[in-house]
Amino acid sequence: MDQTLSADAGPGFRKILIYCLVAYLASRGALTLIGVAAQTFILPLLPPGSYRWHEGVAPWLDVWGAWDSGWFTGIVEGGYMTTPITEPASD
């Protein structure tokens, strides 16, 4: 018997699919709101130069790539660290 997913999989499958889709969209929405709030209220409190932030045309979209983009830009500019960090950073 073929167990492939199809449009006629039944109402149980559709309920599960809708539940997963709603949960995914709700979590992305909540994380986007948290990111925009952090960008709006916390970012201005940080000293300039203590973070990497690429500002694009859509702040709500920028929160999804801001920190990882800074990490990867640092790797491109300076390469990978060759020694492990054993001490906390001193300010």
Task: List pLDDT tens digits, range 22-75.
Answer: 999 999 999 888 888 887 888 788 787 666 556 667 767 777 776 677 778 788
Q: Which of 28, 25, 74, 27 is nearest to 52 (CA)?
A: 74
Q: How far apart are CA 13 and CA 10, in angstroms?
A: 6
SS3 category, 68: helix
Q: How much is the pLDDT for 1? A: 47
Burial class of 62 by CB neighbour count within 10 A (0 to 12, 13 to 18, 19+): middle
Residue 87 scores a pLDDT above 70: yes
Report pLDDT for 53.
59
Confidence (pLDDT) at 74 = 80
